Amino acid sequence: MDLDAIAARLGVPLDEVERVHRLAGDLPSAPLPAKADAPAILDRLAVAPDDVAEIMEGWPDPGSPWWTPELRWLLDRSVALVRADLGGPGWLPPGPELPRERNLAFKHLYVYAYLALVDVAVKFHRDHGVPEDVTWLSLSDLGRNLAIDRRMNGEGWPIMQSWLTLHVRGSVYELGRLQFHRGGATLDLHIPETGPLTPEAIDASLDLARDFFPRHFPGETYTAFACGSWLLDPQLAEYLPADSNMVRFQRRFELEPYEEPEGIDADVEVLRFVFRTLSTPLDRLPRRSVLQRAIIDHLRAGRHWRWCRGSFPI
What's the burial of 238, exposed, middle or buried (CB within 10 Å: 0-12/13-18/19+)? exposed
**How far, in Å, CA of 83 to CA of 228, rounded?**
26
Q: Which residues are CB-contacts of 102 (< 8 A; sequence separation ≥ 6)?
A: 11
Report whether 28 contacts 126 (CB < 8 A): no
**How far, in Å, CA of 87 to CA of 168, rounded?**
9
How high is the pLDDT of residue 117? Answer: 98
Give CA angle at 147 (108, 202), nearest 5°. Answer: 125
pTM of the complete model: 0.95
**pLDDT-based confidence at residue 258 (cuts at 50, 70, 90):** confident
Over the chain, what is the mean pLDDT? 97
* Sign of the alpha-carbon dihedral angle for 242, 243, 247, 249: positive
How high is the pLDDT of residue 1? Answer: 74
Could you give the percent of the chain with pLDDT greater than 90? Answer: 96
Stretch 243-259: mean pLDDT, rounded? 95
**How far, in Å, CA of 49 to CA of 59, rounded?**
15
Can you list the domains of the chain with their CATH numbers?
Answer: 1-170 (no CATH), 182-314 (3.40.630.120)
How high is the pLDDT of residue 263? Answer: 85
pLDDT by residue (tens digit) across 150-195? 999 999 899 999 999 999 999 999 999 999 999 999 999 999 999 8
Q: What is the CA radius of gyration of the chain?
A: 20
Stretch 197-214: mean pLDDT, rounded? 98
**How far, in Å, CA of 239 to CA of 229, rounded?**
17
How high is the pLDDT of residue 175? Answer: 98
pLDDT by residue (tens digit) across 93-107? 999 999 999 999 999
